[in-house]
Amino acid sequence: MAVKKKWGEDSETAAGIQMGPMIDCTFILLLYFVSVSTIDTMRISKDVVLPAAHAGIKEQDESGRFIVDIEWDAGQQEAIFKLGIQRIYEALDLVPLIQKTAKLYPRNFRVVLRVDKRVPYEYTQQVMAAVAQANVPNLMFSTTEADY
């Protein structure tokens, strides 16, 4: 007479899940998201003190943005133009960079100015003239919400 096995008893061929590849995939995804979030935070300067505004529109789509930071160096009494971590010495040097990037995003390209509230208006005018010379019709200013 044959011996019947109970359901769930161990058999000679046990099916198992390989954990090594799953752990590898988890670490790869973790590294990807950490690197992407680091790149995004390096695009803007932390030294810019944005002005406050009573009203504004929050951007929903962040693609196609060309972000220009204008910092104020109080010691030198001069404005510093930045693209991410790259320093630009003259506002008109932005023109070819803006034109080149605009070709990559022909549909929804726009320039976003993040201007320190201590920067005199003449420096903002220089960047606005560079944007106009690059023939870009969309220009936005970054602000913070006013605390009133």
DSSP characters for 83-139? ETTEEESSGGGHHHHHHHHHHH-TTT-EEEEEE-TTS-HHHHHHHHHHHHHTT---E
In a domain, 7, yes or no: no
In a domain, 125, yes or no: yes
Mean pLDDT of the chain: 82
- Give the pLDDT confidence score for residue 1 in this predicted structure: 57
**Which run of H or E residues covers position 65?**
strand 65-73
- Give the pLDDT confidence score for residue 126 in this predicted structure: 93
Name the residue range of residue 111's domain: 63-145
- Give the pLDDT confidence score for residue 125 in this predicted structure: 93
What percentage of residues in the chain have a pLDDT greater than 70? 82
Q: Which residue has the tokens 């790259």?
A: 86
pLDDT digits (tens, 9 = 90+) for 73-119: 888 888 989 988 888 889 999 999 999 988 888 888 889 998 988 99
- List, in order, residues 6 or more apart from 64 with CB less than 8 Å away: 105, 107, 108, 109, 110
In a domain, 109, yes or no: yes
Q: Edge-to-edge strands of the sheet including 110-115?
A: 86-88, 78-83, 65-73, 110-115, 139-141
Query: Could you give the count of Cα atoms lying within 13 Å of 72 in the half-sphere of its Cβ?
Result: 17
- With contact defined as beta carbons under 8 Å apart, do 112 and 101 qualify? no
- Give the pLDDT confidence score for residue 122 in this predicted structure: 93
In a domain, 35, yes or no: no
In a domain, 47, yes or no: no
- Give the pLDDT confidence score for residue 18 in this predicted structure: 83
Length of the chain: 148
For range 32-36, the mean pLDDT: 78
In a domain, 3, yes or no: no
- Give the pLDDT confidence score for residue 127 in this predicted structure: 93
pTM of the model as a whole: 0.65
In a domain, 51, yes or no: no
- Give the pLDDT confidence score for residue 64 in this predicted structure: 82
pLDDT at residue 148 tops 60: no
Number of domains forming the structure of the chain: 1
In a domain, 9, yes or no: no
CATH of the domain at 101: 3.30.420.270
Alpha carbon separation from 122 to 47, 56, 115, 127 (Å, rounded): 20, 23, 12, 9
- Give the pLDDT confidence score for residue 8 in this predicted structure: 59
Cα 146 from chain centre: 23
- Give the pLDDT confidence score for residue 128 in this predicted structure: 93
